[in-house]
Structure 1
Amino acid sequence: MVDNKFKKGLLIASLSLNVLFILFFIGKRFYYSHWSLFHHVKLDRWSEYLKSKPDTGEIIFLGTSITEGFPVKKEFNNPKVKNMGFAGSISENGIQVIKRLIYRRPQKVFLEFGVNDFKYHISADTVKSNLITMIDIIKAKSPNTKIYVQSVFPTNIDSLNNKIVNYNKEAESICLTKEATFINLYPDFLKGNKIDSDLTIDGTHLSTTGYFNWRRLIDKYVN
């Protein structure tokens, strides 16, 4: 009798863990597919930007928190450079924001997506498909906009870097096919097989020196 109760308890515990596991991934997908619902403060920045009059020659940076932390106006000394990166963004969010801003017909768009996708175990095929969609939307709605796809930066996690290296190669091929400019930043942030500790604050996000390095590498594309 005790043995049967113990087995029943183990079964209930196992089923409960499986249900929680499934709910976790459902919740995570809901969070990232309805990303804007959870970022009200940042939506104020979006609202202010979208209500503003489009600048001739506008240059827009889109991406994750890595982009959000990039003081682009200061670094490039150009008021037409706009930072619309948002923490937590995945490539699917890139599609959403491009649909909202492409009517402004910017001169240039710089994309930085992928690291969060891989952290959240989103497949590389999905990220590649989303990249293709982003490029296609820009070309269809604003054909004169120049598209710059920046590689995913390295991290301090080997397993993550393996995925990033493979994706960056595929992204470069996509850009070649789609006539977009691919900027491979990955090698210039490496020390050994991981991100240079002088260029990061936590193994993913960039330090002041990291942002200086980024600006140095892409200045010719921005200005």
Structure 2
Amino acid sequence: MKNGDIDTAIGMYPKNIFLTYGINDIEAYQNSDTFIKLYGEVVDKIQSKLPNTNIYICSILPVTSSAISKQPKFNNISSWNQDIKNLCNKKGVTYIDANSVLANGGYEPDGIHFGVKGIKKWLDLFIQSANL
């Protein structure tokens, strides 16, 4: 998680902020404990600096079975998402479950990233979640 990105966002004084950490972090951490602790610190920082900003946290995006076979840690996305959802409940921020919208395809060949159609669905989900 890059604090510089958060500091830049805070400096813009947004009404809404969307956080989408996760897929790269699954590869970096042995389990979700440290990730959730750091994610909580990011939320705390935003809430302390921007108490009137709405915070939305997106689930870790789904990947294909092919991507899971290449990186078995991706098999833990579901449990990490539950930990993220619990964090959102604890911090009083909105959890956005992207799995239902993005699990039906639209992937790039790597099975991890989405093409234009998938990104549009993802953006539409954010717009709907925040009533924008």
Aligned-pair CA distance for 1:106: 1.1
Matched, 1:200 2:113: no
Aligned-pair CA distance for 1:211: 1.3
Tell me which residue corresponds to 1:174: 87
Aligned-pair CA distance for 1:122: 4.8
Residues 188 and 98 (structure 1 numbering): CA distance in 2 closer, same or farther, change over 3 Å? same
Give secondary structure in 1 for the equivalent of 2:77: helix
Tell me which residue corresponds to 1:139: 47
Alpha-carbon distance in 2 for matches of 1:96, 1:134: 11
TM-score by length of 2: 0.84
Matched, 1:186 2:95: no
Alpha-carbon distance in 2 for matches of 1:154, 1:208: 16
Alpha-carbon distance in 2 for matches of 1:107, 1:176: 20
Q: Please list every run of 5 or more consecutive structure 2 residues that lacks an aligned counterpart in the other structure.
A: none
Give secondary structure in 2 for the equivalent of 1:109: strand
Alignment deviations for residues 27-84 of structure 1 (CA, whole Å, 9 cap, x no partner): xxxxxxxxxxxxxxxxxxxxxxxxxxxxxxxxxxxxxxxxxxxxxxxxxxxxxxxxxx
TM-score by length of 1: 0.52
Alignment deviations for residues 1-25 of structure 1 (CA, whole Å, 9 cap, x no partner): xxxxxxxxxxxxxxxxxxxxxxxxx
Matched, 1:219 2:127: yes
Q: Assess if the C-alpha contact under 8 Å between 1:99 and 1:137 holds in 2.
A: no
Aligned AA (1:109): I
Q: Assess if the C-alpha contact under 8 Å between 2:26 and 2:74 holds in 1.
A: no
CA RMSD of aligned residues (A): 1.7
Alpha-carbon distance in 1 for matches of 2:125, 2:53: 21
**Bigger mean CA offset, 144-153 vs 117-126:** 117-126
Alignment deviations for residues 158-206 of structure 1 (CA, whole Å, 9 cap, x no partner): 3333211111111111111111000000232224xxxx2xx11121111
Larger Rg: 1
Give secondary structure in 2 for the equivalent of 1:152: coil
The total of aligned residue pairs comes to 125
The structure whose RCO (Cα within 8 Å, separation 6+) is larger is: 2
Identity %: 26
Alignment deviations for residues 115-156 of structure 1 (CA, whole Å, 9 cap, x no partner): 001123453112111110111001101100100000110112
Q: Please list every run of 5 or more consecutive structure 1 residues that lacks an aligned counterpart in the other structure.
A: 1-91
Tell me which residue corresponds to 1:105: 13
